[in-house]
Amino acid sequence: MRLTVAVETFPIAGAFRISRETRTEARVVVATIEDGAHVGRGEAVPYRRYRETVEGVAEAVEAMAPRVADGLTRQDLAEAMPAGAARNALDCALWDFEAKRSGTPVAQVLGLTLRPLTTAYTLSLGEPHEMAAAAEAAGRPLLKVKLGAPSGDDARIAAVREAVPDATLIVDANEGWNEGNLLINMGACAAAGVALIEQPLPAGRDGVLATISHPVPICADESVHTSADLAALVGRYDAVNVKLDKSGGLTEAIAMTEAARQAGLKVMVGCMIGTSLAMAPATYYAQGADFVDLDGPLLLARDREPGLVYDGATLMPPEPMLWG
């Protein structure tokens, strides 16, 4: 088995704005494992919020080349690397490689019948009229609305709801709210019939969530990475966002999803902005999830070929040529 690592850049269609940054491109790290006859790939999206850099993640993956050559398994990987983007790239590459080499699809290994999924479509943070226009133009049944500005989020969500009265709305504040505006913004979300609020407060400063009512269910994102974090969420959150790049790959994402359900938490399957190769493994543990947000490729100016097939808001299962 031989490991190679590549850094690739994909332009974002326009700009993608959240509470703490604006991006115009997605830089991803791709791990490829091959034996001369079979090839497995995994894509990771390093995230600066978690103190990751593209260069650092690529170096961490490359450092595992000798272990891969010696026959590294997914179980070995979980002990050898911490959760995060680097481990995700390798874990997903190993899943794909094992499927290609054995001829047994990942879905069969997991005992799954893959079904199409309804995915959210993300609206970047902007002025109320801009976000309302974007919501109407999107024409999607499920929208994820980025909020978290210093002020005016109540007007933003009201404007979006007026523009799309029948759409299901998820709000993502990306840690942008505080104790001063939390209740006002939550009340505005409740008035707008929002189905879920993601990470309203900064991770580590979210204890107040255990002391207030939740007129809208609250989902942990930055506050949760792996199964080990779930116990601390009880009483504060109603749901968890399970992402491959946080959990460190499909292996832990599956375990985390099962543990979250056992803890009575709803499950959202989310993503960073990456290509279809990054989304494909997530479609497996997204089967049966309460909310699915795997729209990364839809936000790009170009995707991989072949990529995932989106029919409006419907995400089709990945073809084996792409992954799995």
Return the active site residues. Answer: 146, 243
Taking a C-beta distance cutoff of 8 angstroms, is the pair 221, 270 a contact? yes
Instruction: Look at residues 208, 216, 224, 211 and name the one whose alpha carbon lies nearest to residue 188.
Output: 216
Among residues 137, 129, 116, the alpha carbon closest in space to that of 283 is found at 116
For the chain, the farthest-separated pair of C-alpha atoms sits apart, in whole angstroms, at: 59
Cα–Cα distance, 228 to 122 (Å, whole number): 28
How far is 122 from 104, CA to CA, in rounded Å? 34
* Spatial separation of the C-alpha atoms in residues 190 and 184, rounded to whole Å: 10
DSSP assignment of 197-246? EE--S-TTS-GGGGSS--SS-EEESTT--SGGGGGGGBTTBSEEEE-HHH
Rg (CA), the chain: 19
The whole-angstrom separation of Cα 140 and Cα 148 is: 22
Q: Which residues 6+ apart lie within 8 Å of 297 measured at CB?
A: 274, 275, 276, 279, 303, 307, 308, 310
**CA–CA distance, 297 with 94 (Å, rounded to integer):** 22
**171 is written with which tokens?**
């709000």
